[in-house]
Structure 1
Amino acid sequence: MKYCAFLRGVNVKGTNMKMADVCQVFKQAGMQEVGSVLASGNIVFSSEKKAEDLKGILEKAMSDHFSYEAFLFIKSLEETELFWKNIPFEKNENLHIYAFVGNSGIESVLMEEFEKASKTENEKAEISGEIFYWQVPKGNTLDSTFGKVLGKKSLKDQFTSRNINTFEKILKKMYS
């Protein structure tokens, strides 16, 4: 079965790692057809194991090898396709669209946080197919009130986010 592991907090705030090293850790943990997409912690691989089992195996392998508390979210090819197919917003060159990969139910938590946050013009959020999507004007991602919520320590093991363009690149790698 083909999977993508979405790592949280890679190459930000001092947690730096080369994707070649990450791929090596995955291979040593028994994964096949391992490859990375971008430097933000997207690892495509194959395994006969279930996603729930892989999460524990790979978080431990990553934590042990890189000496940090690893959080990752494993999605099958079919699940990864949904992130691309369910985008509720029109693409616009002035806006970023992010999709959030995480634990079951995190979309409701994120929507609650978004509704409490002050918003900039054209900033929107929507849940589509149990996936939380956030649209924000380019240049406002880290400055927005909701953007600051994303760094909350209490949520660090619950989700990670990717620009939707990243999903297109991941799927190309998964199909090849």
Structure 2
Amino acid sequence: MKYCAFLRGVNVKGTNMKMADVCQVFKDAGMKEVSSILASGNIVFSSEKKGDELKAILEQAMSEHFSYEAFLFVKSKAETEVFWNSIPFEKNESLHIYSFVGIPGVEKVLMEEFQKAAQAENEKAEIVDNIFYWQVPKGNTLDSTFGKVLGKKSLKDHFTSRNVNTFEKILKKME
């Protein structure tokens, strides 16, 4: 079965790794047809194992190899398609749209945090198919009140986010 592993915190805040090295860790852990998409930690691979089992195997392999506490989320091709097919916002050149991959229920936590945060003009959030989507003006991602919430240590093992365009690239690689 085809999967994508979405790694959290790769190539930000001092956690730097080459995607070729990450791919080798996946191969050494028994994954097949391994390739990376972008430098933000999206690894497409094949395995006969189930997603939950893969998460544990790959987090341990990444943690041991790179000497950091690895967090990743494994989604099948069908699950990844939902992220792309459920985008609730119209594309707009002046806005970024992000989708959040995480543990079950994290979308409700993120929506609560979003509703408490001050919002910029055209900043919106919506939950579709248990997936949290966030639209934010370009240039405001890290400066927005909600953007700052995303770095909370208490949430670091709960989710990771990707620009929705990344899902299109991942799905093309999964073909």
- TM-score when normalising by structure 1: 0.99
After TM superposition, give the deviation of residue 35 of structure 1 in Å: 0.2
Deviations 1:106-149 (A, max 9, x none): 00000000000000000000000100000000000000000000
- Amino acid corresponding to residue 111 of structure 1 in structure 2: M
In the other structure, the counterpart of 2:110 is 110
In the other structure, the counterpart of 1:76 is 76
In the alignment, the residues of structure 1 paired with residue 158 and residue 174 of structure 2 have an alpha-carbon distance, to the nearest angstrom, of 24
In the alignment, the residues of structure 2 paired with residue 50 and residue 124 of structure 1 have an alpha-carbon distance, to the nearest angstrom, of 34
Deviations 1:75-103 (A, max 9, x none): 00000000000000000000000000000
- Amino acid corresponding to residue 53 of structure 1 in structure 2: E
Aligned counterparts, 1:1-176, within 5 A: 1-175=1-175
What secondary structure sits across from 1:92 in the alignment? coil
In the alignment, the residues of structure 2 paired with residue 78 and residue 53 of structure 1 have an alpha-carbon distance, to the nearest angstrom, of 18
After TM superposition, give the deviation of residue 165 of structure 1 in Å: 0.5
After TM superposition, give the deviation of residue 33 of structure 1 in Å: 0.3
Q: Percent identity?
A: 82
After TM superposition, give the deviation of residue 172 of structure 1 in Å: 0.4
After TM superposition, give the deviation of residue 74 of structure 1 in Å: 0.1
In the alignment, the residues of structure 2 paired with residue 92 and residue 65 of structure 1 have an alpha-carbon distance, to the nearest angstrom, of 40
Q: Which runs of 4+ in 1 moved over 4 A?
A: none
After TM superposition, give the deviation of residue 10 of structure 1 in Å: 0.1
Q: What are the ranges of 5 or more consecutive residues in structure 2 without an aligned counterpart?
A: none
Q: What are the ranges of 5 or more consecutive residues in structure 1 without an aligned counterpart?
A: none
In the alignment, the residues of structure 2 paired with residue 33 and residue 57 of structure 1 have an alpha-carbon distance, to the nearest angstrom, of 17
- TM-score when normalising by structure 2: 1.00
- Amino acid corresponding to residue 79 of structure 2 in structure 1: E
What secondary structure sits across from 1:25 in the alignment? helix
- Amino acid corresponding to residue 9 of structure 1 in structure 2: G
Count of residues in correspondence between the two structures: 175
